[in-house]
Amino acid sequence: MRKFAIECPSCGKFAEASEGFLASRTIRCSCGNVIDVRTEKYTSCICPHCGNDVVYDLSRGRRTVCPVCHERINAADNLSNMVEFHCPSCSCGLSADKNAAQYTCPLCDTVIDVQKQTAKEAERKKGLASVIKYEGNNQTFVWKHPIEDLNLGSQLIVHESQEAIFFRDGQALDLFPAGRYTLSTQNLPVLQELYKLPSNADTFFHSEVYFINKTVQMGIKWGTDSKVRFFDPATGLHLEIGACGQFNLKVSDSRRLLLKLVGTAEEFTQADVIDGGYALKPTIAKFKALIMTKVKSHLARIIKENSINILEIDEHLDTISERLRDTINENLTDYGLVMPEFFVTTIMTPDDDPNFRRMRQQHADLFLKVREEQIRKAEAEASAERQTVEAQTAARMKIIGAQGEAEAYKLRAAAEAEEMRMKGYTYQQETARQVGLGAVENMGGAAGGLGDIAGLGVSLGAIGGVMGMTREALNPVLGNAAGMGAAMSGTVSPDTWDCTCGNKGISGNFCNNCGAKRPEKLETWDCTCGNRGIVGNFCNNCGAKRPEKPDTWDCTCGNRGIVGNFCNNCGAKRPEKPETWDCTCGNKGINGNFCPNCGKKKGE
């Protein structure tokens, strides 16, 4: 049978195939892919001489030439890239591409790390290790060097993120931090004392070298293998939840890790922590039970202690993660490991559970109810504020209207006062004139001639008595007409009074029958509501208060009842009020030192 190199369509590496009547139709590549020799032997490549893309048969071997430049292009020489090694389980001889990562033994199905196995066999062929260094990957916490027979004078290389420990019979001896060391009896004091190493550099000693990776291993995944039963005290419902996430792990104590966990094992990787699996060999998830137990027993407890709503649990993932990390680290420190970060990325809620759906609906209804209450409260506050603003606006408008009316009244009064001043009479005179004209108009039913004159006199006399006018205010009409009217009609003067003894028409201050004193006239007032002759201080119709009497004065020019400080007739200034006093006899407003009524002196 003629052999040739065939390219694997999966990984691009070359494997050995045969051509002939008894040749196998299929072969297995080092990557595990099954190659169909009859179909996959036809391939294409770029000619290294002219750059032409050539399709050719790999079984033709060195005879394959480029149809353009007629140079050989077959890659049969790649068979020189094959490397030979032995299976660590069954010790059968195997061969694979020297760049291959893994190879499965066809006899015992052991997955072999090609690079590690070839390096180990190369070191064994040398007999002694001249350079001792870390050859594992970054997912490994502890890696054991394959060579155990070491000679003094060998170079030990420890990287910055590593430590190296020499072991003998499972006992940790000398520890080396980062650096480059030449093994000698001086830097191996514990090993020298224990085994009495010779000083000859050509001799060797038996020891195991472990490299400890001190970097933080990140992104190690975890997840609960079953549901966590959880009782929600707020709703009284039983729920089942799950959790998953990632954590970071690093070595805190190299000796403790090796003595308590690794022992004589060749390595300790991420797969040994929680995953398990069959990457290169069966592994045991050493901390899976620890992490699962801590998560399950503390997850529900943390939710209850922090009063976390299961529907809002994503807002508290950082708190849950920190609490779980601290709990797990309490046990990890015993093995020389520490967990810098522990992340709970997802809490799986039972969305299909009717209890959970009912709790979610109750939470939504409660939220909507609270939101409606807030909206109603906000609307009520806005309405009250709007009513307050409207009331304040209405009050301001009333005040503005009252101020406008008062200002208009002042302007009208000022105009009337100016008009009367220009005409030469006072407000009292104008009032008397208007009253007199009204009285004359009301006498329309009386007889003419002398009867009209008499009626005018009676009416003017009565009006003068009602308004409390003086004779000067009604002069000269009252002086003549009133007297004539009283004489001809036989009426009684309005300035008379009737005594309780039966005597009537008394003009003096005392009754000439029984000597009783004239009763004082009641001071009455008229309300704006139309009620007149009110005696008290409040209107018995609308309850309005009696208006204050204006402080008036009489001018020497004859103008009376002036309200302001200057006479609107002649412009004279209001005189200063004299200091008056009231006597005990009832006389009030006395100017002198003696009472004109009883003669009593001021102050007695």
Q: What is the pLDDT of residue 546?
A: 84
Q: Is 287 exposed, middle or buried (0-12, 13-18, 19+ CB in 10 A)?
A: buried
Nearest to 223 by CA among 295, 165, 158: 295
- The CA distance from 374 to 420, in Å, is 68
β partners of residue 268:
142
Average of per-residue pLDDT across 479-487: 45
Q: How confident is the model at residue 73 (pLDDT cuts 50, 70, 90)?
A: low
Mean per-residue pLDDT of the chain: 76
Q: What pLDDT, in 10s, does the model give residues 134-185?
A: 887 888 899 988 877 777 777 888 999 999 998 876 677 788 899 888 777 6
Question: So what's the pLDDT on residue 164?
Answer: 92
Structure tokens at 269: 């990787």
Query: Residue 328: is its pLDDT beyond 90?
Result: yes
Scored b (16 or more CB within 10 A) or e, 507-526 reads eeeebeeeeeeeeeeeeeee
How distant, in Å, are the alpha carbons of 518, 554, 555, 598 from that of 591? Answer: 25, 17, 18, 14
Query: At CB < 8 A and 24+ separation, what contacts does 33-36 make?
Result: 33/8, 33/9, 35/6, 35/8, 35/9
Report the candidate in 117, 77, 86 with the shortest Cα–Cα distance to residue 100: 117
- In order of 88, 107, 109, 133, 568, the CA distances from 117 in angstroms are 8, 17, 16, 16, 132
pLDDT for the residue numbered 277: 47
- Phi/psi for 345 (5° steps) reads -90, -25
Alpha-carbon span 54 to 68, nearest angstrom: 9
* Cβ atoms 132, 147 nearer than 8 A: yes
> Which pLDDT band, with edges at 50, 70 and 90, does 214 fall under?
very high
pLDDT value at position 248? 94
Q: How far apart are CA 294 and CA 314, in angstroms?
A: 20
pLDDT exceeds 60 at position 448: no
Q: What is the DSSP letter of 549?
A: P
Task: Flag whether the pTM goes above 0.85.
Answer: no
Q: 216: which 2 tokens? A: 């933080």
Class of 217-350 in CATH: alpha beta
246 in helix, strand or coil? strand
Amino acid at the residue 603: G
Give the DSSP H or E segment for 142: strand 140-144
* pLDDT higher than 50, residue 486: no
Closest CA to 140 of 249, 23, 292, 30: 249
CA distances to 85, 171, 338, 361, 367 from 354, rounded to whole Å, are 61, 58, 41, 10, 20
Distance in angstroms (rounded) separating the CA atoms of residues 17 and 27: 7
- Mean pLDDT of the 571-577 span: 82
CA distance 58 to 41: 5
Residue 51: the pLDDT is 58
Place of tokens 């009684």: 492
- Residue 56 is classified by DSSP as E
Is 85 within 8 Å of 99 (Cβ atoms)? no
Taking the C-alpha atoms of residue 457 and residue 484, their distance in angstroms, rounded to an integer, is: 7
Relative to beta strand 149-158, strand 129-132 is parallel
Q: Please report, for residues 3, 95, 114, 115, the alpha-carbon distance to residue 104 in angstroms, rounded to integers and kept in the order given.
A: 22, 11, 10, 13
Count CB neighbours of 271 within 10 A. 21
> 340 pLDDT exceeds 90?
yes
- Does residue 552 surpass a pLDDT of 90? no
Average pLDDT of the residues in 589-593: 80
Cross-strand pairs, 246:
221, 343
Closest to 118 measured CA to CA, from 149, 81, 154, 165:
81
List, as one string, the DSSP characters of 385-427. HHHHHHHHHHHHHHHHHHHHHHHHHHHHHHHHHHHHHHHT--H
pLDDT tens readout for residues 220-230: 989 888 888 87
| Per-residue confidence band for 466, with pLDDT thresholds at 50, 70 and 90 | very low
Helix (H, G, I), strand (E, B) or coil at 562: strand
**Residue whose entry in the numeric block shows the structure tokens 């009032």:** 431
CA triple 563-568-574, angle to 5 deg: 55
- The pLDDT confidence band at residue 491, using thresholds 50, 70 and 90, is very low
- Domain extent listing, the chain: 1-40+75-126, 217-350, 427-489
Q: Please give the pLDDT value at position 266.
A: 82
- Examine the pLDDT at 319 and tell me if it is beyond 60: yes
Q: What is the pLDDT of residues 360-413, one digit of tens each?
A: 777 777 777 888 888 888 888 888 888 888 888 888 888 888 888 888 888 888
Q: What is the band of 464 on the pLDDT scale with cuts at 50, 70, 90? A: very low
pLDDT at residue number 599: 81
Residue type, 390: E
d(CA 32, CA 11): 10
Q: Tens digits of per-residue pLDDT, 188-207?
A: 666 555 555 555 445 566 78
Distance of alpha carbon 520 from alpha carbon 505, whole angstroms: 16
458 compared with 41, residue with greater pLDDT: 41
What's the whole-number mean pLDDT along residues 252-278?
Answer: 80
CA gyration radius, the chain: 64
Mean pLDDT confidence for 410-433: 75
Asked if 449 and 456 count as a contact pair (C-beta separation under 8 A), the reply is: no
Q: What is the pLDDT of residue 24?
A: 79
